[in-house]
Amino acid sequence: MSVRLVSPFAVGMLAAAPAYAEDSIGWHKGDIVIRAGGAGVFFNSSAEVKVAGNVVPGGSVSLSNNATASGELEYFVTSNISLAANFGIPPETRITGAGTLAPLGVAGRVRYGFGDLVARYHVGAAGRFSPFAGLGVGRIFVFSTRDGSVSGLSADSAWAPVVQGGADFHLNRQISLYANVSYVPVKTDARGLMQGLPMTARVTLNPTVVQAGLSYRF
Burial of 132 (0-12, 13-18, 19+ CB in 10 A): buried
1 in a structural domain:
no
Please report whether residue 191 resides in a domain. yes
Domain-embedded: residue 149: yes
Residue 21: per-residue pLDDT: 45
Is 56 a domain residue?
Answer: yes
* pLDDT band per the 50, 70, 90 thresholds, residue 210: very high
Residue 2 lies in a domain: no
User: What range defines the domain where residue 100 resides?
Assistant: 8-217
Contact 19, 71 (CB under 8 A): no
Report yes or no on 20 lying in a domain.
Answer: yes
Residue 142 lies in a domain: yes
Beta partners for 39?
68, 211
| pLDDT tens readout for residues 125-155 | 999 999 999 999 999 999 999 999 999 999 9
Q: How many domains does the chain have?
A: 1
Predicted confidence band at 82 (pLDDT cuts at 50, 70, 90)? very high
Distance CA 35, CA 178 (A): 8
CATH number at residue 93: 2.40.160.20
